Amino acid sequence: MKVDILIVGAGIIGLSTAYQLSKVHKDKKIVVVDKESEVAKHQTGHNSGVIHSGIYYKPGSYKARFARNGSKSMVEFCEEHHIDYNRCGKVIVATSESELANMNKLYERGIENDLDVELLTGNEVKEIEPFVNTVGGIHVKNTGIVDFKKVTEKYGELFIENGGELHLHNEVKDIQIEKEKITVVTSQENFEANYLINCAGLYSDKLARMANIKTDVQIIPFRGEYFELDERIEHYVKTLIYPVPNPDLPFLGVHFTNMIGGGVDVGPNAVLGFKKEAYQKIGFNLKETSQILTFPGLYRMGLKNIKEAIGEYYRSFNKKAFVKEAQKLIPSLNAEDIKPMEAGVRAQAMKPDGTMLDDFYFEENAYSLHVLNAPSPAATCSIEIGKEIAKRFNQKIITVT
């Protein structure tokens, strides 16, 4: 099949990109392929549904700009297409005096990022979240919740309405490039494309190398393990409750999140996965496990964060330890109050020196673009990321013509 633009990956980024391109290039044949039987099967479908504000991210970065703009465009999209959402806000709470300095820095970052944030005393936090343990906090009013799988499905519907094609059950087996002609071989058919966009998440590094991108980035999977509050204590959480994060790590720590479909989740506990789709505690794939465990960056990162890594693994196999961590935020929580939920997997880009890429990250050449780091808050930013990729594609057309 000959196509103008082939997009690999039917998650929220792939289908947002497809939708944005289909609005502008109605004369081009645009196809999305994915190995799964449905859209939003991986990171998107295991998302807790938070519409992030952008408070955590370095001013001027993709994440800061795209989250600030994306939280607005996401709400507008949901209103236009009648998708349920709730701009409930959240509180980021300091549980001890030692966390106040980092909390104040985070507040200043929120101001720099032009967000609707308010610094609160401990008593003021308790007016919003009466069960929380706190000496002070930040009220982030831009934050909300939504079902990102429904958002992704709507992107797909609109893309198809615009003439696009979605081909599921198509696992990419090979990419052949000859004189800038791209042939993508899948388990079902061959696609001859003029341009390739790689939104394959956990497999984006593999596809980039197939497409002759000489990247040193490797995707390292981190399993996010969640629990759900028992219905009888869901009233413990009114909005969203987050801790002051460790500024040296890309993870936000154990937090409490109201979900748009009902229920409250607690987590995540973030541990290394030993294969790409590491949804189970114990699971290996000979080739993938070998690639993960022989990547030098993993050990360099681990040595820098050994204390945190040990703590995450301990909580993974010890429910009492996880509860103890969660009790820092809500002391009245007990082990019998939570039950395990399905885990998610974060596709985290890492460099050989152990650096975990913090911002969204793209690599490209004349005939392809590869999204090599798009973990949280990518779902919030999906419209903005789709627009960015479409803009880059349009610039290449102008250059060529």
**148-168: pLDDT as tens digits:** 999 999 999 999 999 999 999
SS3 23: helix
| pLDDT of amino acid 382 | 98
Residue 275 identity? K
Confidence of residue 401 (pLDDT cuts 50, 70, 90): very low
Rg (CA), the chain: 21
What residues contact residue 147 under an 8 Å CB cut-off, 6+ apart? 49, 83, 84, 260, 261
Of 60, 124, 95, 398, nearest in space to 253 by CA: 95
Q: How many helices (H) and strands (E) does the chain have?
A: 11, 20
Average pLDDT of the chain, as a whole number: 94
Phi-psi category of 136—alpha, beta or left, where left has phi over 0 and alpha has psi -120 to 50? left
| pLDDT of amino acid 349 | 97
| pLDDT of amino acid 310 | 80
Predicted confidence (pLDDT) per residue in 266-323, tens digit? 988 889 999 999 999 888 999 999 999 999 999 998 878 777 888 888 788 889 999 9
343-351: average pLDDT? 95
Is 176 exposed, middle or buried, given 0-12, 13-18 or 19+ CB atoms closer than 10 A? middle
Cis upstream peptide for 245 (omega within 30°): no
210-239: average pLDDT? 95
Backbone angles phi, psi at 161, to 5 degrees: -60, -30
| pLDDT of amino acid 304 | 80
133-137: average pLDDT? 98
Confidence of residue 400 (pLDDT cuts 50, 70, 90): very low
pTM, two decimals, is 0.95
